[in-house]
Amino acid sequence: MLWADKIASDIRSTRKPRDGKTFLIRDEKTLSGRVHVGSMRGVAVHGLISELLSEYDIPNEYRYELNDFDPFDSIPGYLDTEKFREYLGKPLYMVPSPEAGFKNYAEYFGDEFVSVHKKAGFTPNYYRATEMYQSGKMDACMKTALERASDVRRILKEVSGSEKDVSWLPVSVVCENCGKIMTTRAYDYDGETIGYSCDRNPDEAKSCGHSGRVAPWKGAAKLFWKVEWAAKWVVQGVDIEGGGKDHSTKGGSRDVANHICREVFDTEPPYDIPYEFFLVGGKKMSSSKGRGSSAKDMGDLFPSELFRLVLIGKDIREQIDVDPQGESVPRLYDWYDELAEEVRAGAADDRTRLYALCALPKERAALSAPWEMRFREVAFIVQMAHLLLAEEAARVKGSALTSDEKQKLDERARYAKFWLSAYAPEEFKYELQDVLPAVELTDTQKNALAVLAEFLKSREHTGEELHAKLHEMKTSVPIAPKELFQVIYRIFLNRDSGPKAGWFLAGLPRDFVLTRLEEALQ
């Protein structure tokens, strides 16, 4: 059984919605800049559980928070530091958008992130953190947290070992003078207002020195985030919410939030789904800031169903690791094609189930798995100006392509071209050499090329026939396969490795091949 089916069936058999009607599934992301693809794992885990509950006809809502109330705590490298420095420490919704056309910084980055959710086929109901606060919905929990601040401090100490001063309150006030939230210290809650002073200077955020008292309601202050996490569950009645591994350790933020939820808000925390990291080229979120690591960059690399495979294909206890600049991309296409093969073979197992889940729910009932040419082959052929992709594909398939297959082929070609131009490693880039590259041939290689030339002179051959001939030459010449293939790639592509040689040669004009062989033999 796939991980998602296990979880969905566990929820079905052990849980009831808090409101007696609809399971509420929630996830969130703080929009502090371009979103790393790691955050897409949460989007997909929650989204898929929502889809599966719906499959069982279990009413559920998937709600996603675009967190625009957390502080702007660092300036991403791709933005103008001078322009943004003055906003450090302000809530994200008070930071201007890097580009015109968006209400603020959080909306700008949120818009891009939401477009990636859509690409992967997930469409939760979105809301903003500021809506929760400014509407007053968070006020009751904030009041409780302030009244029971000593319990919050005790839990922080017991669960995570974090000691807070006895005057510490679990809120951050938005300074009435400078608008910053990261620079303030709150103390002395009198039941209606709290005292605060704007005198902290964390990182590069500069405080203004103002101090005063403020009623913390309706967005004038924000809960400390581990308390806030629990408060969001309570206020909305969240039934199901997972979290990444970084939050899920003992004594970690989830653990603290669970304790606060139970002990301060007297509520059971939601059903947890802890999931592993999404690495990019072996690196974690914090250390992978390069091209290819954002949700948008990763989404751009794949058609929707492949992107879903990336996100949901691995068990949540396993890491996902994709390196756009390595072999991961063709390997993922191979994986998808293997699943499709199972579907065409009429199997019904975890692999065909996974293939179905890569499609959108509405497409699952009438699912077919059209034949597709391997991504590696597509990526090779699109680099060979003289080859027609559709013709080559029909040749490999052994019959004409259906319109579905043709459409898939065109799509795959577009993604292959993009990958080749943006990320692909050198070994996937081929350039047919117009003139014979400088090459030193051994006598054995010369013999082999002469035999090959003779064979080709007689008539046209298929890839299969050429493949058989090349293998037969291992004993007839004789020549080691490596020595033979190397010389073929060398004289045509000026490199030591390449695509399957038989089909490669069959795809080239015969005159061209013969001329090149003769030149090499001189």
Q: State how far the Cα of 444 lies from the Cα of 447, in Å rounded to an integer.
A: 5
Least spacing, CB of residue 219 vs Zn ion, in Å: 16
Q: Which is nearer to Zn ion, 135 or 177 (CB)?
A: 177
> In Å, what is the CA distance from 236 to each residue of 53, 62, 133?
19, 12, 12
Stretch binding Zn ion (CB under 5 A), from 175-183, 353-361, 384-392, 472-480:
175-183
Site size toward Zn ion, by CB under 5 A = 6
Stretch binding Zn ion (CB under 5 A), from 191-199, 268-276, 411-419, 470-478:
191-199
Least spacing, CB of residue 133 vs Zn ion, in Å: 19
Q: Which is nearer to Zn ion, 208 or 387 (CB)?
A: 208
Stretch binding Zn ion (CB under 5 A), from 84-92, 205-213, 332-340, 352-360:
205-213
Stretch binding Zn ion (CB under 5 A), from 41-49, 194-202, 466-474, 505-513:
194-202
For every residue of 409-450, DSSP letters joined together read: HHHHHHHHHHHHHHT--GGG-----SSPPP-PPPHHHHHHHH
Q: Which is nearer to Zn ion, 178 or 484 (CB)?
A: 178
* Residue 484 structure tokens: 């033979």
Collapse the DSSP code of 59 into the 3-class scheme (helix H, G, I; strand E, B; otherwise coil) and give the result: coil
Check binding of 208 to Zn ion (CB under 5 A): yes
Cβ contacts of residue 142 below 8 Å, gap of 6+? 171, 216, 217, 221, 223, 231
Q: Report yes or no: 120 and 43 within 8 Å, Cβ to Cβ.
A: yes
Check binding of 177 to Zn ion (CB under 5 A): yes
Q: Which is nearer to Zn ion, 178 or 424 (CB)?
A: 178
Q: Report yes or no: 67 and 80 within 8 Å, Cβ to Cβ.
A: no
Check binding of 198 to Zn ion (CB under 5 A): yes
Q: State how far the Cα of 379 lies from the Cα of 136, in Å rounded to an integer.
A: 55
Q: Which is nearer to Zn ion, 208 or 441 (CB)?
A: 208
Least spacing, CB of residue 178 vs Zn ion, in Å: 3
Check binding of 221 to Zn ion (CB under 5 A): no
Stretch binding Zn ion (CB under 5 A), from 167-175, 235-243, 393-401, 487-495:
167-175
Q: Which is nearer to Zn ion, 206 or 395 (CB)?
A: 206
Q: Report yes or no: 387 and 378 within 8 Å, Cβ to Cβ.
A: no
Least spacing, CB of residue 70 vs Zn ion, in Å: 17
Q: Which is nearer to Zn ion, 198 or 477 (CB)?
A: 198
Q: State how far the Cα of 518 lies from the Cα of 189, in Å rounded to an integer.
A: 91
Q: State how far the Cα of 401 lies from the Cα of 417, in Å rounded to an integer.
A: 21
Mode of pairing for the β-strands spanning 278-280 and 320-322: parallel
Stretch binding Zn ion (CB under 5 A), from 160-168, 173-181, 339-347, 362-370:
173-181
Q: Which is nearer to Zn ion, 210 or 495 (CB)?
A: 210
Q: Report yes or no: 184 and 132 within 8 Å, Cβ to Cβ.
A: no
Is 396 exposed, middle or buried, given 0-12, 13-18 or 19+ CB atoms closer than 10 A? middle
Check binding of 314 to Zn ion (CB under 5 A): no
Among 75, 106, 138, 178, binds Zn ion (CB under 5 A): 178
For every residue of 138-166, DSSP letters joined together read: THHHHHHHHHTHHHHHHHIIIII-----T
Stretch binding Zn ion (CB under 5 A), from 6-14, 17-25, 84-92, 209-217:
209-217
Q: State how far the Cα of 491 lies from the Cα of 256, in Å rounded to an integer.
A: 65
Least spacing, CB of residue 200 vs Zn ion, in Å: 10
Least spacing, CB of residue 216 vs Zn ion, in Å: 16
Chain positions contacting Zn ion, by CB under 5 A = 175, 177-178, 198, 208, 210
